[in-house]
Amino acid sequence: MEPLLLIPGPTPVPPAVREALAQPLIGHRGPAFVELYRRVTRRLKPLFGTEQEVLIFPGSGTGAMEAAVVNLFSPGDRVIVLVAGAFGERFAAIAEAFGLAVDRLEAPWGQVVPPERLRERLLTYPPGEVRGVFITHNETSTGALSPLEELVRVARQESGALVVVDSVSGLGGTPVAMDRLGIDCVVTASQKCLMSPPGLALLALSPSAWQATERARLPRSYWDVQEARRFGEQGETPYTPAVSLWFALDRALDLIEAEGLEQVYARHRRMGAMVRAGGRALGLEVLAPEAHASPTVTCLLLPEGLDAGAVRRALRARGVEVAGGQGALKSRAIRIAHMGAIQPEHLLQGLLALGEVLRDQGLAVSPEEAVAAAEAAQAE
Ligand SMILES: Cc1ncc(COP(=O)(O)O)c(C=O)c1O
């Protein structure tokens, strides 16, 4: 039996998408690929909320983050990176590795950086000094969704900085509205809400970001967006694209369009509410406050004395795969994904199994009550 994959990436790939992967390959310098290129990139625009071109590189989400850094900035540029979890920290580390002057604006894991703190921090710098503000839209390590609209508004009001958003675990599961909010660069990857296998790194740039690519002096080659755009105008990529993954993403976009983007977002919100309700019914604490709870992934804290590794192993034995905590939460938390092709019924199955595992570990909990609580949340 296929395991029930409830980890926050890679997420389950629907059968139709798996079939698409098995298609015979096509030449990437011929008309069939040009058509595929144009169809896929055009259909991604509503997910990014942009009229700008979407670029696709072979690579993981971390590669797209690196692409944002090397294409937009120069050595020594001052950037503020919002850090409230492992992926905010990763963005800061990448920027540092490339010699940017990184100011980490931190919040405790599980929380989000309040927009007012970003304002205060920006105002400590002379006008024009801060060149970039990096925001993790959906912090996968904690299950917290940043108040993107407010953060972007503050960044734009108080600075001329480029706003760079990591929406690796948000885009496709929750709205991004890049153009409307005035975000300069959005990066994401294929293996989460986009229901495809890992291997595609995606990004889009605003007109100001494109201008910045003219000035940016960090070395770039593989991730050169100007080169990618030049080729993209012809419906091609500068070097061999991961053609099979393009087939997969094309099919996944069919599924997203058939469900309807608003319905997809609503399903994600509903699934988040289900997991939080089911988790709480099992006596587990949801790490993120309700106001910032992620629609795509939930981090549940286990009671003292329970080890996340043991819980995960017991779940695995029942065919359910969840993630552990990250960083200091490694053995204290589990993370359950509710994104992409995951459906409410999978979460009911996962919560039932989790309840049984916790009961086996000696907790006085009712798996059936957890399922009932999740069903009630689903119906709301
Ligand atoms: C928010 C976020 N950013 C970046 C990444 C890195 O993506 P990848 O593992 O594809 O490099 C992840 C992966 O989990 C993520 O969740």
pLDDT tens for each residue of the chain, 380 residues long: 789 999 999 999 999 999 999 999 999 999 999 999 999 999 999 999 999 999 999 999 999 999 999 999 999 999 999 999 999 999 999 999 999 999 999 999 999 999 999 999 999 999 999 999 999 999 999 999 999 999 999 999 999 999 999 999 999 999 999 999 999 999 999 999 999 999 999 999 999 999 999 999 999 999 999 999 999 999 999 999 999 999 999 999 999 999 999 999 999 999 999 999 999 999 999 999 999 999 999 999 999 999 999 999 999 999 999 999 999 999 999 999 999 999 999 999 999 999 999 999 999 999 999 999 999 999 99
CATH superfamily of 261-379: Aspartate Aminotransferase, domain 1 (3.90.1150.10)
pLDDT at 232: 98
Range list for CATH 3.40.640.10 in the chain: 15-257
Residue 75 near residue 100 (C-beta atoms within 8 A): yes
pLDDT at 75: 98
- Ligand 1 pocket test target in 66, 141, 169, 188 with most atoms within 8 Å of CB: 169
pLDDT at 2: 85
Decide yes or no: CATH 3.40.190.10 for domain 15-257.
no
- Nearest in space to 336 (alpha carbons), one of 272, 285, 277: 272
CA atoms within 13 A on the CB side of 246: 27
Range list for CATH 3.90.1150.10 in the chain: 261-379
How many A from CA of 366 to the centre of ligand 1?
Answer: 34
- Ligand 1 pocket test target in 69, 87, 299 with most atoms within 8 Å of CB: 87
pTM to 2 decimal places: 0.98
Classify residue 234 by burial, with Cβ atoms within 10 Å: 0-12, 13-18, 19+: exposed
- Nearest in space to 46 (alpha carbons), one of 171, 170, 190: 171
User: Which is the closest atom of ligand 1 to the Cα of 63?
Assistant: 11
